[in-house]
Amino acid sequence: MINFPTCKINLGLHILRRRNDGYHELETAMLELPFNDVLELIESEESTFTTSGLEIPGLGNLVLDAEAEFRIHKSIPTLAFHLHKLIPMGGGLGGGSSDAAFALKLMRDRYAPEIENESLKEMASKIGSDCAFFIDGGLQFATGRGEVLTPLNIDFKNLFVVLVNLGIHVSTKDAYEGVVPNNDRTSLKEILEKPIRMWKDSLVNDFEKSAFAKYAELEDIKNDLYNHGAIYASMTGSGSTIFGIFESEVESIQWSHKVMYEKYLKL
């Protein structure tokens, strides 16, 4: 069986306060985008996890965490996974979380179709803060540490988004260390209710300040997107991918930077 893990962008991200459990209370909106990895599951005599595409650092992977979590709830045979990695790591696109969530969906669809999405979300939330989002995907408002989700309705019809990634890997741990929590401001949800053209001056990602201080080229890309007609541009998640939302398809952009990839996606 094969499926295609998606990615996400964050429409604003407020770090509100540090929690007693060591996590941070936050609020953000996450929008699923159809830029995909490829994940394959087969039954095998030997449990394996192989990859192709972008190199994945480290020995572990959230796909294996998803398998371990699923086995707590359901007896399944020995499995082999292959992940073809296209979504950059450390770019704030949630690719690792998506891979885990889509692994859960593969195993559910093959071995336990009776398990509903709500139960799958509970499993996903134990793996990573963003994982539960990718069970339903779409556009959702997230609170808590990112796992408390409610559907959100914003009209993106006939808009286009550009993703730009320079291959800079931003550590989530380092990103949080550069943020000063702030719980005394206009709620993100209230800002998102305004027309998209009004987001530029009010919809912020708290990780941008420290990321831009360390990597000035990221702020340059954001400014370039605005200079080329974006109605809103921002860094997603803890970085380093920068995205711009446009009212018309962008035929070509002459960047002053070496861009790892550019992706034009109709929302």
* Dihedral class, residue 94 (left if φ above 0, else alpha if ψ from -120 to 50, else beta): left
Going by the annotation, the residues of the binding site for ATP are 88-98
Active-site choice (8, 85, 121, 222): 8
Instruction: Give the Cβ contact number of residue 34 at 10 Å.
Output: 12
- Specify whether 8 is catalytic: yes
Hey, what's the torsion of the CAs at 219, 225, 226, 229, to 10 degrees? 180
Q: By C-alpha distance, which of 241, 29, 27, 238 is closest to 139?
A: 29
Which is the catalytic residue, given 37, 130, 206, 224? 130
Q: Residues annotated as binding site?
A: 88-98
Residue 242 Cα distances to 11, 91, 107, 208, angstroms:
11, 9, 33, 10
Whole-angstrom distance, CA of residue 218 vs CA of residue 211: 8
Q: Is 189 a catalytic residue?
A: no
Catalytic residues: 8, 130
